């Protein structure tokens, strides 16, 4: 591995560098991913191309191996963190070019519920997939969700609950959206251990996400579908 | 950029996938080393009372040593009162003979030294199922075992890191002639595995053949001061040792090899129905057998065995995983420690026909006392079904996984600085999860036992994967293991000598069904 250690990213051609960045994302190496991002930009790659081919594709691979039980949670968090470093470089450039960002998510644990580890993992996976995530924390009531939607204009509203006694509040939030006529402006994703697909449909959400990896996949899929339909 | 010169890149996806797929690179743990005191259920006074009662049985009733005049002469010369075939041991004599020469702990050497096992003390060695005429798997159901099944089970045992010993008659290869199948069984243990193994006991000559094959592998002189093969001699309870078992025990002891001396007791049928009664009779029978072995060759290793279960009083059928045999196990384990010899008992025992909930519960209810009670050598640790009539491929895989859990459990609580994790708690503070902390990152990979057979996914993921229960998952695992099996290297000269020996022995006698 000593060769790898002393690897000079600038010596690689574009294809090799992109492949190396996939591996560096996989290994959770934030510095190296940031360096690779800058090198590609310096070679005249547009930020959208860097994002899609180097970062998003790299995280897709991470997601596959996480799903298959090869990667562990702490490793995925490291990878997501490396992705965030690359995104931090790209985000202002993407905004300047007027490119459509991957998406924005407002997420929170619903009122009455103080459990947030699962929700935090979902947030990190979404960030790892390139989403901008606004995390409202725990014990979030409908007003707070509505205010955040108004302020951030996200693509997705994500709600989490761990308890059977708090999950019905998701319906309250969705009812408040409907009341204001803004339900269809957002993709609503729900998750948490006591939920299932049937519950998600009953409260009027767009999808139930059973784990963080599925949440990230579902978010990408539904945002893309909505944009394609628009 | 960072000043860090430590290697940061670890090879990305391919390297990680390869590392995670190949768990065999993990250090070989040749046997369990228990760190906790064994669980005890009877007081010192209670154990002394059982010992006194066992001596009363040995003195007043005596033990039959049937069909073996040499054994009777040996025991008479040692001070026993022999009336016909009935041998009465004066109070304390059997114990004295055993304690004079039987090792408390010994090593069984394997042809791969990394697989040598300690038998006795705080070591626990897991060996697979023994003696089943039937095998079963999900594809082909229950049928008589064949030599192909036998070889498959040797291979699976070899590939299971949580089984330490290749065992003996993992299944009975019913397709081979009775008088020759031992040659193919011992050959398979040597050829398809490099873990320590057991030999045949179904006739004294077959025991001698087994020892001879061990000599081919290890060298003739080596066996004089190294134990490389075990023979399993069962008492014909109640209170009888028969000539076949005595002859086999003698064959191993004369070669300074180890004998497992095991009263086989189904309480209610072969012993009284009470825990203390079954334990007392077990002790008396085992001491008589072990004393005999020490008289044959002082210092030859013996293992005090106890196979004790109960029966259904409605039908007479044997039952497993019930509370009373667990109490017998704990009691006899303590008696063996007081006697000062290694102890064999337990396993993953069940009366269930398939790898279902009954099989899992009953096996767990046997395996936990096995480990907590401090058993040193565990036959039937994997595969046992139907009271031993059947060895199940899927059950084998599920049991081996449980053996792995026991291996982690007996290591006990790590109180090192890393184990205390005080820095991690202080640094992380209230309300933050630990998934990304430095301490977790440094420890996560080995922090928790990872089951190969359990499904911990969400309901939806499990449903998408095909609603598989544990037996179906285990079915895929053993098939994959057999596909990926590679035999350990065998010295070509040993290989040739073994083939010659087996061919010559087979040619020397006609096939026989007894």
Interval B481-511: pLDDT, tens: 999 999 999 999 999 999 999 999 999 999 9
Is A1 at the interface with chain B, CB within 8 A?
Answer: yes
Tell me whether residues B435 and A71 touch, CB distance under 8 A: no
How far apart CA B128 and CA B393 sit, in angstroms, is 11
Q: Is the dihedral of CA B158, B160, B166, B168 positive or negative?
A: negative
Instruction: Return the pLDDT at A2.
Output: 43
Instruction: Return the pLDDT at A126.
Output: 93
Tell me: pLDDT of B214 over 90: yes
Instruction: Return the pLDDT at B123.
Output: 98
Instruction: Return the pLDDT at A95.
Output: 86
How far apart CA B170 and CA B158 sit, in angstroms, is 12
Burial of B269 (0-12, 13-18, 19+ CB in 10 A): middle
DSSP for B401-441 reads HHHHHHHHHTT----SHHHH-HHHHHHH-TT--STTSHHHH
Q: Which helix (H) or strand (E) holds B265?
A: strand B258-267
Give CB contacts under 8 A, 24+ apart, made by B505-509.
B505/B180, B505/B183, B505/B209, B506/B180, B506/B183, B509/B179, B509/B180
Instruction: State the nearest Cα–Cα gap between B478 and chain A, in angstroms.
Output: 19
What phi and psi values does residue B421 have, to the nearest 5 degrees? Answer: 55, 25
Listed in order, strand segments (DSSP E) in B427-482 are none
Tell me whether residues B17 and A65 touch, CB distance under 8 A: yes
Confidence category of residue A5, pLDDT binned at 50, 70, 90: low
For chain A, positions 155-184, list CB contacts with chain B under 8 A: none
Tally the C-alpha atoms within 13 A of residue B95's C-alpha that lie toward its C-beta.
19
Instruction: State the nearest Cα–Cα gap between B10 and chain A, in angstroms.
Output: 7
Average pLDDT over residues B448-463: 93
Closest chain B residue to A214, measured at CA: B461
Confidence category of residue A99, pLDDT binned at 50, 70, 90: confident
**3-state DSSP call for residue B503?**
helix
Tell me whether residues B9 and A32 touch, CB distance under 8 A: yes
Tell me whether residues B460 and A196 touch, CB distance under 8 A: yes
Q: Which residues from B are below 8 Å from A197, CB to CB?
A: 460
Q: Which residues from B are below 8 Å from A85, CB to CB?
A: none
What phi and psi values does residue B160 have, to the nearest 5 degrees? Answer: -90, 110
Q: Is the peptide bond before B238 cis (omega within 30 degrees of 0)?
A: yes
B332, B337, B341, B345 alpha-carbon torsion, rounded to 10°: 40
Tell me whether residues A72 and B16 touch, CB distance under 8 A: no
**Given B7, B13, B440, which is nearest A1 (Cβ)?**
B7
Asked if residue B87 lies in contact with residue B62, where contact means CB atoms within 8 angstroms, the answer is yes
DSSP for chain A reads -HHHHT--GGGS-HHHHHHHHHHHHHTT-HHHHHHHHHHHHHTT--HHHIIIIIIIHHHHHHHHHHHTTSS-HHHHHHHHHHHHHHHHHHHHHHHHHTPPPS-EEEEEEBTT----HHHHHHHHHHHHTT-EEEE--SSB-HHHHHHHHHHH--SEEEEE---TTTTTHHHHHHHHHHHTT-GGGSEEEEE-TT--HHHHHHHT-SEE--SHHHHHHHHHHHHHHHHHH-
Tell me whether residues A27 and B1 touch, CB distance under 8 A: no
Length of chain A: 230
Least confident of A203-207, A209-213, B343-347: A209-213
Instruction: Return the pLDDT at B194.
Output: 97
Q: Give the residue with greater pLDDT, B433 vs B226.
A: B226
Instruction: Return the pLDDT at A1.
Output: 42
How far apart CA A213 and CA B460 sit, in angstroms, is 13
Q: Which of B474, B279, B463, B451 is nearest to B396 (CA)?
A: B474
Is A24 at the interface with chain B, CB within 8 A?
Answer: yes
**Given A7, A35, A70, which is nearest B20 (Cβ)?**
A70
In this prediction the pTM is 0.91
> What's the complex ipTM?
0.81
Q: Which of B375, B422, B414 is nearest to B164 (CA)?
A: B375
pLDDT tens by residue, A169-196:
999 999 999 999 999 999 999 999 999 9
A137 φψ region: left (φ > 0), alpha (ψ -120 to 50), beta (else): left
How far apart CA B437 and CA B397 sit, in angstroms, is 35
Per cent of chain A over pLDDT 90 is 82
What phi and psi values does residue B234 have, to the nearest 5 degrees? Answer: -100, 140
Give B503's contacts (C-beta < 8 A, 6+ positions apart).
none
Tell me: pLDDT of B100 over 60: yes
Average pLDDT over residues B36-53: 98
Within 10 A of B187 (CB to CB), how many other CB atoms are there?
18
**Given B9, B444, B459, which is nearest A72 (Cβ)?**
B444
pLDDT tens by residue, B321-338:
999 999 999 999 999 999
Least confident of B21-30, B125-134, B185-194, B269-278: B21-30
Is A84 at the interface with chain B, CB within 8 A?
Answer: no
Asked if residue B225 lies in contact with residue B189, where contact means CB atoms within 8 angstroms, the answer is no
Average pLDDT over residues B361-377: 98
How far apart CA B404 and CA B158 sit, in angstroms, is 14
Instruction: State the nearest Cα–Cα gap between A175 and chain B, in angstroms.
Output: 27
What phi and psi values does residue A10 have, to the nearest 5 degrees? Answer: -70, -20
Instruction: Return the pLDDT at B4.
Output: 47
Average pLDDT over residues A62-81: 90
Confidence category of residue A7, pLDDT binned at 50, 70, 90: confident
Tell me: pLDDT of A88 over 70: yes
Listed in order, strand segments (DSSP E) in B280-381 are 302-311, 318-319, 343-345, 377-378
Confidence category of residue B7, pLDDT binned at 50, 70, 90: low
Is A64 at the interface with chain B, CB within 8 A?
Answer: no
Mean pLDDT, all residues of chain B: 95
Confidence category of residue B9, pLDDT binned at 50, 70, 90: confident
Average pLDDT over residues B292-314: 96
How far apart CA B375 and CA B347 sit, in angstroms, is 10
Instruction: Return the pLDDT at B1.
Output: 40
pLDDT tens by residue, B402-413:
999 999 999 999
Tell me whether residues A7 and B9 touch, CB distance under 8 A: yes
């Amino acid at each position: 591995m000593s060769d790898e250690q002393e690897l000079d990213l600038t010596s690689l051609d574009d294809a090799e560098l992109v492949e190396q960045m996939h591996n560096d994302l996989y290994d959770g190496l934030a510095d190296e991913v940031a360096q690779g991002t800058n090198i590609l930009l310096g070679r005249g790659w547009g930020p959208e191309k860097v994002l899609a081919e180097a970062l998003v594709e790299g995280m897709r691979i991470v997601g596959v191996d996480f799903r298959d039980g090869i990667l562990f949670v702490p490793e995925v968090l490291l990878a997501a963190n490396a992705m965030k470093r690359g995104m931090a470089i790209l985000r202002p450039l993407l905004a300047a070019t007027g490119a459509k960002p991957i998406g924005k998510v407002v997420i929170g644990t619903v009122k009455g519920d103080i459990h947030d580890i699962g929700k935090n993992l979902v947030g990190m996976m979404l960030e790892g997939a390139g989403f901008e995530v606004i995390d409202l924390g725990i014990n979030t009531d409908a007003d707070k969700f509505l205010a955040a939607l108004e302020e951030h204009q996200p693509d997705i509203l994500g709600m989490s609950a761990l308890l059977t006694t708090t999950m019905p509040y998701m319906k309250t939030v969705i009812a408040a959206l409907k009341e204001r006529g803004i339900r269809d402006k957002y993709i609503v994703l729900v998750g948490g251990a006591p939920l299932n697909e049937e519950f998600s449909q009953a409260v009027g959400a767009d999808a139930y996400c059973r784990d963080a990896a599925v949440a990230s996949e579902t978010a990408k899929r539904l945002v893309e579908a909505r944009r394609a339909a628009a | 950029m960072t000043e860090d010169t430590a290697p940061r890149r670890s090879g990305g996806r391919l390297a990680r996938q390869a590392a995670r797929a190949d768990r065999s690179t993990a250090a070989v743990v040749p046997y369990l080393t228990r760190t906790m005191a064994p669980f005890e259920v009877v007081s010192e006074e209670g154990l002394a009372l059982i010992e006194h009662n066992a001596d009363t049985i040995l003195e007043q009733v005596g033990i039959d040593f049937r069909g073996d005049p040499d054994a009777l002469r040996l025991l008479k010369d040692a001070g026993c009162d022999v009336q016909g075939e009935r041998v009465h041991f004066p109070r304390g004599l059997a114990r004295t003979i055993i304690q004079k020469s039987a090792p408390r702990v010994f090593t069984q050497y394997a042809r791969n030294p990394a697989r040598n096992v300690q038998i006795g003390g705080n070591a626990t060695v897991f060996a697979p199922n023994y003696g089943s005429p039937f095998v079963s798997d999900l594809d082909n159901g229950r049928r008589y075992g064949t030599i192909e099944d036998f070889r498959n089970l040797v291979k699976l045992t070899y590939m299971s890191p949580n089984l330490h010993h290749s065992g003996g008659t993992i299944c009975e290869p019913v397709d081979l002639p009775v008088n020759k199948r031992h040659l193919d069984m011992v050959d398979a243990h040597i050829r398809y595995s490099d873990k320590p193994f057991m030999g045949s006991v179904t006739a004294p000559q077959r025991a001698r053949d087994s020892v001879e094959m061990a000599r081919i592998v290890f060298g003739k002189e080596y066996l004089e001061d190294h134990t490389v093969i075990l023979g399993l001699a069962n008492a014909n309870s109640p209170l009888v040792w028969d000539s076949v078992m005595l002859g086999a025990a003698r064959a191993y002891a004369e070669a300074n090899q180890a004998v497992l001396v095991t009263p086989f007791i189904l309480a209610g049928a072969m012993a009284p129905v009470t825990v203390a009664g079954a334990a007392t009779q077990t002790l008396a029978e085992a001491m008589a057998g072990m004393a005999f072995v020490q008289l044959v060759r002082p210092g030859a290793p013996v293992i005090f065995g106890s196979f004790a279960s109960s029966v259904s009083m409605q039908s007479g059928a044997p039952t497993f995983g019930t509370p009373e045999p667990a109490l017998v196990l704990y009691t006899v384990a303590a008696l063996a420690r007081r006697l000062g010899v290694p102890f064999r008992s337990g396993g993953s025992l069940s009366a269930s026909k398939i790898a279902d909930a009954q099989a899992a519960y009953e096996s767990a209810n046997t395996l936990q006392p096995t480990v907590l009670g401090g058993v040193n050598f565990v036959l039937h640790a994997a595969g046992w079904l139907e009271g031993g009539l059947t060895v199940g491929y899927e059950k084998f895989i599920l049991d081996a996984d449980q053996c792995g859990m026991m291996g982690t459990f007996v290591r006990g609580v790590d109180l090192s600085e890393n184990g205390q994790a005080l820095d991690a708690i202080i640094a992380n503070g209230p309300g933050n999860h630990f998934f990304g902390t430095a301490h977790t990152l440094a420890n996560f990979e080995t922090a928790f036992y990872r089951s190969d057979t359990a499904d911990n996914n969400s309901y939806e993921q499990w449903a998408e994967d095909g609603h598989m229960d544990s037996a179906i998952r285990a079915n895929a695992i053993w098939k994959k293991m057999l596909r990926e099996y590679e035999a350990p290297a065998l010295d070509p000269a040993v290989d040739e000598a073994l083939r010659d020996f087996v061919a010559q022995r087979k040619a020397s006698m006609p096939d026989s069904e007894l």
